[in-house]
Amino acid sequence: MVYLNQTSRLNDAEPQVMHIDLNSAFASIEQQANPLLRGKPVGVCSYTSPGGIILAASYEAKAKGVGTGTVNRDAQVLCPDIVLLMPDPDKYFYVNALLYALLHRYTDDLTPLSIDEFVIDFSHSRKIHNRSLVQIAQEIKAVIKREIGCWMRVNIGLGTNRFLAKTAAGLHKPDGLDVISSKNLEQTYSQLALRDLCGISFKYEARLNVAGIYTPLEFLEASVEHLHKRVFKSIEGYRWYHRLRGWEVDSVAYGRKSFGNDFAIYIATDDRKQLSRILMKLCEKTGRRLRKNNTYARGIHLWLLYEDRSYWHKSLKTHRILYSTQDIYRSVQQIFNHQPDKQPIAKLGISVFGLEPTSPEQLELFDTPATKQRQIATAVDSMNDRYGEFTITPARMMNMDETVIKRVPFGSAKDLKQTYEQFVKNYL
C-alpha cells in the first residue's frame, strides 16, 4: 500500500474547529426547567422503577458516584436523596433546536453530532469579525446562559480537527474551555490514558496493548505502517495516524443504512396479543421515520431477547417495497412466527434496511392496492404532523400512549435535521 500524504509532522495550523458539549444535558435541562431541582442530585432514567438505568446524572449526583448506566436501586444507595425523573424528549429536542439556532449565527458550517453535541468549522466563516475563537467561545457560553438559561453550561474545545476539538472539550468538565494545538498536543497526551481518547474502546485499547502501545504518546509515536499493518489491519490505522496529529479525517458524512426502534418489556411475556401490539407500535414509529426521510426499504430485521437472556434474530429481504406501517408489520409478523422456541420475551426490536429514495418514482398506469396503501400512509402522516404524533393510529395501537414511549437517539443526529428546519420555520 502507498501511504498518500504521509507525514510525521503535526498540523501546526491555528485551531479552527470548535466542539460544543452540553454538560449532563438531560439533567441540566430538567434543572433549568424546574428551579426547585437546582443544586439537587437528579437522575434522568429509562424507567423510575428500581431496575431502571440512569441515562443522565446531574453533577450533584455524579459527585456521589452516580453516573450514566447506574441502576436506579444502586443510585439510591449511593445518593438517597436523588430525584429520579422519566425522560422528556420534546423538552430536550426543543433546547437542542435552540442551541442549533444560536450557534448558526456564527457560521453555516455547523454539524450536530448528537442531541447534546455540535461541531463548528470556522475555516471559512465570515461572521466572526477578526475575533479569536477563544473570544467567540466565551461569548457563546455567555449567550447560552442569557438566552437559554442560567443553569445551562457547556464544555467547549478548540482544535485543528474534530478529534482534538472533542478531546479538548472533555479536559475540564463542567463548563470548560480548552485549546489543543501543535504547541501543547504532546503535553496534553502525556496527561491522558488511552481510554481518554474518543473512539478508543476496551477492544481497541487491548489491540493497542498487544502491539506494545500503552499511552497516547506511544500511540502518537507509532508509524503509519505499524498502525495499519499490525494494530488495526485496516485503513483505520492510517486514519488514526493522521487523526492524532491534528489532520482532519472525520468530516465525511455517511448516508443512513437503516431505521429501527426497540422496546424493553417491564415484565417478560409470551402473550401474543400484547407482543403484537408492541410490534405494531414499533412498526409505526419506524415507518414514520422511514417516510419522513422520503425513503422506502427492501428488507426487515427482527431481534428478540428472551427472559433467560438468550437471543434470537432473523432478517428478511422482501420482493415488495416496505413503506406503510402495514407493510412493515406484515413482514415482521412473518419473521416473528418463525421463532424456533417461543419463550417469554424481555426486549425486542425491529429495523428496516436496503433503503432507496422514493423519488424519482416509477409510476404505474393503474392504482394497485399497494399504491393506494402508500397514499393512505402519506395522508395519515400529514394528519399526525399537523395535529400531533399518533393522532391517527392503527386500531391495534389503541390505549398504548404509555407503551414504547418517545426516546432520544443517543450518538446520532441524523433525525434532527427536520426538527431544526421545522423549528426555524415556526419560531425564527
Cα-atom radius of gyration of the chain, to the nearest Å? 24
Task: Give the number of other Cβ atoms within 10 Å of residue 416's Cβ.
Answer: 19
If residue 265 lies in a helix (H) or strand (E), which one and from where to where? strand 258-269
From-to residues of CATH 3.30.70.270 in the chain = 13-181
In this prediction, residues 54-66 reach a mean pLDDT of 94
Question: What is the full DSSP assignment across 322-378?
Answer: E-SHHHHHHHHHHHHTT-SS---EEEEEEEEES-EES-S----SS--HHHHHHHHHH
CA dihedral 366, 371, 375, 377 (to 10 degrees): 170
- In which order are the strands placed within the sheet that holds 117-121? 110-114, 117-121, 17-22, 154-159, 177-179
| Residue type at 120 in one-letter notation | I
User: Measured between alpha carbons, how far is 341 from 44 in angstroms, rounded to an integer?
Assistant: 36
Class of domain 184-253 as given by CATH: mainly alpha
Per the CB < 8 A criterion, the answer to whether 107 and 101 are in contact is no
258-400: in CATH 3.40.50.720: no
Residue span(s) of the chain under CATH 3.30.1490.100 come to 258-400
More confident residue, 299 or 425: 299
Q: Summarize the confidence of residues 208-219 as an average pLDDT.
A: 95
The mean pLDDT value for 35-51 works out to: 92
CA–CA distances in Å: residue 157 to residues 170, 176, 178, 333 = 8, 8, 5, 48
Range(s) of the chain covered by CATH 1.10.150:
184-253
Is a pLDDT exceeding 50 seen at residue 162?
A: yes
The predicted model scores a pTM of: 0.74
Mean pLDDT across the chain, nearest whole number?
85
Q: Which helix (H) or strand (E) holds 186?
A: helix 185-190
> Helix, strand, coil: what percent of the chain each, to 5?
40, 20, 40
220 falls in which pLDDT band (50, 70, 90)?
very high
Higher-scoring residue by pLDDT: 21, 404: 21
Looking at residue 415, what is its pLDDT? Answer: 58
Higher pLDDT, 91 or 416: 91
Q: Is domain 13-181 in CATH 3.30.70.270, yes or no? A: yes
* Mean pLDDT across 322-350: 89
Q: What separation, in Å, do the N-terminal and C-terminal C-alpha atoms of the chain show? A: 51
Q: Which one-letter DSSP state was computed for residue 213? A: -
Crossing angle of helices 25-33 and 89-103, in 10° steps, is 100
Using 50, 70 and 90 to split pLDDT, how confident is the model at 131? confident
Alpha-carbon distance of 153 to 149, in angstroms, equals 9
Average pLDDT (264-290) is 88
